[in-house]
Structure 1
Amino acid sequence: MDDQNKNLILATALSFAVILAWFLLFPPEEPPVEPESATVETTESTPDTATPPPAVTGGGNVSATPTTAPKAAVEAARLRIETPRVEGSISLQGGRIDTLELLDYQETIEPDSPNVKLLSPVGSSSAYYALYGWTPGGDLSFDDVPGANTEWSIENGEVLTPENPVVLVWDNGKGAIFRRKLEIDENFMFSVTQSVENTTDAPLRLAPYGIVARHGEPDVTGFFILHEGIVRQNDNELEEIDYSDMPDMDIVEREGARADIVEVAENGWTGFTDKYWMTTLIPEPGQPFTSVAKYVDSASIYQIETRHPTMTVEPGNSAETATMLFAGAKEWETIRDYETNLGIKNFVDSIDWGWFFFLTKPIFRALHFLHGLIGNMGWSILALTLMIKAILFPLAYKSYVSMAKMKELQPEMEKLKERAGDDRQKLQQGMMELYKKEKVNPASGCLPILLQIPIFFSLYKVIFVTIELRHAAWFGPFQDLSAPDPTSLYNLFGLLPWAAPEPGTMLALIFIGILPLLLGISMWLQQKLNPAPADPTQQMIFAWMPWVFMFMLGGFASGLVVYWITNNTITFTQQYIIMRSHGHRPDVFGNIRSSFKRKKPAVAKGGNDAPKK
């Protein structure tokens, strides 16, 4: 077996091993079952909420005094939220932001699919909401400060829009007047300003807080490559906590509630992140706060909190604190603008870029830029592939030149083998001298293949986690490049009147679509640039490799398969042209014909082993 074939086999086997390991560890995502829209129960019996922040005593120490749990706000008055991108409402019971629909995003690609519902009220099947309040200190009790069930009144405004903020007010009847000003921008950012006016003759001690709570364990993708749960920035540290880890958190705040508590000095935020959506509490940059991740075992509630420092409000004075709430889609451009314009540290890292962030980030930026120019994500992936191949072309050129020179050295290699006989050491020394003399590096042919592996994984990550690829159309049947190929041999790629098998099933694996089929053909043609190796083991590996990849990658996102087909096509063209420019003329069609011919068995001549007539 010559060194060129050894290197090619090594590179191919290594690529196959890595991608096979990836496929086994991180299988393609099965199509999620779209949950039914949450319906609101009319009963007054509701689950308990997570325990709110503890009270602050007169000395400023923390106490574990609980407050009243939120009740269902089905019958409570509501304040509408209307913007070009979201619709929802705020319950005046507790002032909770607890219904929100994303108008730009539907649950499926079907034309009549309902909008994605991000938040839902207490009493629904999966309550998910944000609320704000104050913890009392000094002589104040929980009845003296607004909490989860406080009945607020509207002081100003009728509908919350980007142009019209609203102000809620509540008078505790003991000389403290609380207000909550709510604002929203054109995208997904709320601004919440909590204030208290002290009309008594004694100072008030109290501390504001913000909460986002989720009742019951959320439905998650459950895919190893993706983090879903809590993501938070604690000054200079980005932390991720899975839902499954929350019941085992270290600190027991009170009976039935476990918490992970971090003191943030200047810059931070904390939120629940799903695959494409996020709800995040963001204190004003530069202000200290306590970041809390909490799980209430008795009610199966997951909760995040931002607790702000205790403040003292003197008689006749007022005090306020401003925070933000992001509730919407994890759009890269939108989140990046918030990071830049509002000073939210590392907010763009709320998108799960993964271990290869140094590749996934620039790859996504390039893809996003191309999509802005072209306006079609499928053609943008093709253009991105051309860009990547252009960047790697100098390395690929050296590799293909080296392979062409190796072809030219074949006669010399055969002579070395004849002279060396069975002396392997002499053969290796002769080959090394020949390589050095002709300035050929036999390992250089592997490098482009090895470089493709992290690029392949990074692009897969980008296609899987970024919302810009969700429901991104190409043409014809390819209306969602983040999903597997919707065509199938089962219905002759749409010519027959029945639907293709559901992605993730055995039938879908067997009856593959047109894109995986093109992938296998492109890999097979790439092999035919060179004659089949003489060694039977090598022949078998080369014969099976394209079709193994075809079935293995058939369940992956169709955008990734588009990239791989384009990459193979460009690689074939580059290698063919470069090899011809160096005097080697690949006989592609001859190699294809020879691969279909059966080898005749060798016939021994003479002796007892000769075949008898």
Structure 2
Amino acid sequence: MDDQNKNLLLATALSFLVILVWFVMFPPPEPTAPQDETPVTATEADAVQTPSAAGTDTGGDTASVAAEAAPESEAPRVEIDTPRLSGSLSLSGGRIDELFLKDYRVSLDEESEIVELLSPVGSQSAYYALYGWAPGAGLKVSDVPGPNTLWSVEQGETLNVGSPVTLVWENGNGLTFRRTISVDEDFMFTVTQSVENASQAEVGMAPYGILARHGIGEDADLPGLKNFFILHEGVIGMTDGTLSEIDYGDVREFDIDPNERAQAEVFQVKENGWIGFTDHYWMTTLIPEPGSPFKAAAKFDARRKIYQTETVLPTLTIPAGETAEVTTRLFAGAKEWETIREYQAGGVQKFIDSIDWGWFFFLTKPIFWLLHNLNQLIGNMGWSIIGLTLIIKAILFPLAFKSYVSMAKMKELQPQMEALKEAAGDDRQKLQQGMMELYKKEKVNPASGCLPILLQIPIFFSLYKVIFVTIELRHAEWFGPFRDLSAPDPTSIMNLFGLLPWAGPEPGTLMATIFIGILPLLLGISMWLQQKLNPAPTDPTQAMIFAWMPWVFMFMLGSFASGLVVYWIANNTITFTQQYLIMRSQGYTPDVFGNIKSGFKKTPKTGDK
């Protein structure tokens, strides 16, 4: 095979590799599954799988509770109004089932709706928290409140900070159930359940909490999910220090057959734990009191398409004339680092791990901490990313210095290396021996230039994770048209790179890939200039690959979060400056303009000192 065919084969293989990596990292969006048009009544939809006290130890048995109740739209409600939350809880089941996050809007438009986290039965995708008691020996399902039991308000009118609400229900057989719900200034609810036994007999029952999400199709995920491979969405839980993450697709394998023993993923917690659902930026979590054992489970009801997580505490025995109570917590809100860290300090074990830090958590956590504190100091996330880049480059400077000094010495040794090549001729072994002796004599390590590049790879992926996952980057502004650093560059030639007051192509479309924004263009130019610090390789194939690389990366990264592209541009600019100055200090002056001129010629230039 001649050299021309070899080069063509190599170029084709490389092109295929780039395309393959592109589709792995950016798979085309899956088609939206059609919604199930079968009408679902409120009573049927509320038939969540509530635990039985007999099954609290094994996690096996369940009882479907669907007591008759008024339609959801007619059930009385209690308003929730705090500085950060609004919504209501339904007296049908005493569910916390309508919750809005006041600090967050759906889009950058100031007129857009605020984010809705929880929604009642009858909405497109119902999502709610439910509490109750699983009946033990001697009790029937009708003796305890169920998902549709109509409660009464005993105390309080509106649930807000410092003003709890107490609900009450009597079963007519001597048992009085109360549920007191309070909320703090952020996203944590405290739910205290009590039962007063005025009957003549001892009773037993187990307190539980349930989070339920209603799906929209037989095999479809919930609406609004990102379905991105680097992001976990689904069940998340902590079991005595061990984190568990289960995707929604895997939760569907825990299908509950009401005619058989229930199937579920069960976690037996000895002292500390929590379980719930996590999305990109939002989360709901059931949190029993630290130090108390409980059973946590994840389930799926395929017939009604209900995803479910639950916590079930040990059965309580309540003698006649006695009262028992238990307190648990519910987190329902945004995954803010500072807020979650405060809850962790307050006793929620490893709650900060509910943020998806990824495999490189040992890098993503300190990188985010540094970026967060820079933003607190500077007050602008874009400049904070540039400041973070400066700090990272300063930390890596000793390695970079050694690398660029070695590169300068290698340039100085170029004439001697050419002489060795001529003397060795076709004897490859003699050439290698001569090269090793020369490197040893001049104290040059040819591999030292690779180390800074290798270290940049995990740092780059860690920063990518931070920018993509953390809510602090969501809708974070820089300047001008860059109003969301977690989103792709909004500029394009179609809006004169942000000068005209309309949006560019829709991110993820072919038009957006072709008509890239100003940041990807600057990235390509910065990579190209950095490349010109060295002469083009003499081998034509290598020269072709190097020539195309900046522009391939420019288009590939055009759909990345603009904050990540800002980091890469800053990194390239600092690297160019460092390399140029250090190599000059070692007696070698890179011929940048000469290398640029030679790049427009067919034959690559070998470079001059």
TM-score (norm 1): 0.90
**Aligned mate of 2:54, from 56, 69, 76:** 56
CA contact (8 A) 1:92 1:152 kept: yes
In structure 2, distance between residues paired with 1:525 and 1:108: 37
- What does residue 240 of structure 2 align with? 235
- What does residue 327 of structure 1 align with? 332
Instruction: Give the match's secondary structure for 2:107.
Output: coil
In structure 2, distance between residues paired with 1:278 and 1:534: 55
- What does residue 556 of structure 2 align with? 552
In structure 1, distance between residues paired with 2:445 and 2:59: 71
In structure 2, distance between residues paired with 1:164 and 1:488: 51
Identity rate of aligned residues, in percent? 66
Q: Match for 2:107: what amino acid?
A: T
In structure 2, distance between residues paired with 1:502 and 1:172: 57
Q: Residues 485-504 of structure 1: matches in 2 within 5 Å? A: 485-495=489-499, 499-504=503-508
**Alignment coverage as a number of residue pairs:** 580
Shift of 1:25: 1.8
- What does residue 287 of structure 2 align with? 282
CA contact (8 A) 1:471 1:479 kept: yes
Instruction: Give the match's secondary structure for 2:194.
Output: strand
In structure 2, distance between residues paired with 1:280 and 1:300: 20
TM-score (norm 2): 0.90
In structure 2, distance between residues paired with 1:42 and 1:548: 51
Question: Relative to 1, partners in 2 of residues 1:382 and 1:129: Cα closer, same or farther, differing over 3 Å?
Answer: same
Instruction: Give the match's secondary structure for 1:434.
Output: helix
CA deviations over 1:170-202 (Å, ceiling 9, x no partner): 121211111111110000000000001111222
Instruction: Give the match's secondary structure for 2:50.
Output: coil
Instruction: Give the match's secondary structure for 2:345.
Output: helix
CA contact (8 A) 2:135 2:141 kept: yes
Question: Relative to 1, partners in 2 of residues 1:274 and 1:485: Cα closer, same or farther, differing over 3 Å?
Answer: same
CA deviations over 1:134-183 (Å, ceiling 9, x no partner): 11122211111111111111111111111111111112121111111111
CA contact (8 A) 2:55 2:62 kept: no
Considering Cα pairs closer than 8 Å and 6+ residues apart, tell me whether 1 or 2 has the greater RCO.
1
The yes-or-no answer on 1:434 pairing with 2:431 is no
The yes-or-no answer on 1:530 pairing with 2:534 is yes
Question: Relative to 1, partners in 2 of residues 1:519 and 1:380: Cα closer, same or farther, differing over 3 Å?
Answer: same
Shift of 1:242: 1.0
- What does residue 83 of structure 1 align with? 82
In structure 1, distance between residues paired with 2:226 and 2:483: 21
Q: Match for 1:327: what amino acid?
A: A
In structure 2, distance between residues paired with 1:292 and 1:154: 30
- What does residue 276 of structure 2 align with? 271
Q: Match for 2:460: what amino acid?
A: F
Question: Relative to 1, partners in 2 of residues 1:418 and 1:56: Cα closer, same or farther, differing over 3 Å?
Answer: closer
CA contact (8 A) 1:93 1:149 kept: yes
- Provide the alpha-carbon RMSD of the alignment: 2.7
Q: Match for 2:75: what amino acid?
A: A
Gaps of at least 5 residues in structure 2 are 1-13, 33-38, 216-220, 605-609
In structure 2, distance between residues paired with 1:60 and 1:594: 75
- What does residue 109 of structure 1 align with? 108
Q: Residues 179-194 of structure 1: matches in 2 within 5 Å? A: 179-194=178-193
The yes-or-no answer on 1:127 pairing with 2:134 is no
In structure 2, distance between residues paired with 1:28 and 1:583: 48
The yes-or-no answer on 1:302 pairing with 2:307 is yes
Q: Identify which range, 530-539 or 127-136, moves more after superposition.
A: 530-539
Q: Match for 1:364: what amino acid?
A: F
- What does residue 316 of structure 2 align with? 311
Instruction: Give the match's secondary structure for 2:121.
Output: coil
Shift of 1:491: 3.1
Shift of 1:433: 0.4
In structure 2, distance between residues paired with 1:225 and 1:90: 34
- What does residue 418 of structure 2 align with? 414
- What does residue 47 of structure 1 align with? 45
Question: Relative to 1, partners in 2 of residues 1:17 and 1:527: Cα closer, same or farther, differing over 3 Å?
Answer: farther
Q: Match for 2:338: what amino acid?
A: E
In structure 2, distance between residues paired with 1:30 and 1:202: 60
Instruction: Give the match's secondary structure for 1:568.
Output: helix
Shift of 1:429: 0.4
CA contact (8 A) 1:50 1:302 kept: no
CA contact (8 A) 2:52 2:62 kept: yes
CA deviations over 1:435-490 (Å, ceiling 9, x no partner): 01111000011111111111111111111111111111100000000000000123
Q: Residues 356-371 of structure 1: matches in 2 within 5 Å? A: 356-371=360-375
Shift of 1:253: 6.8
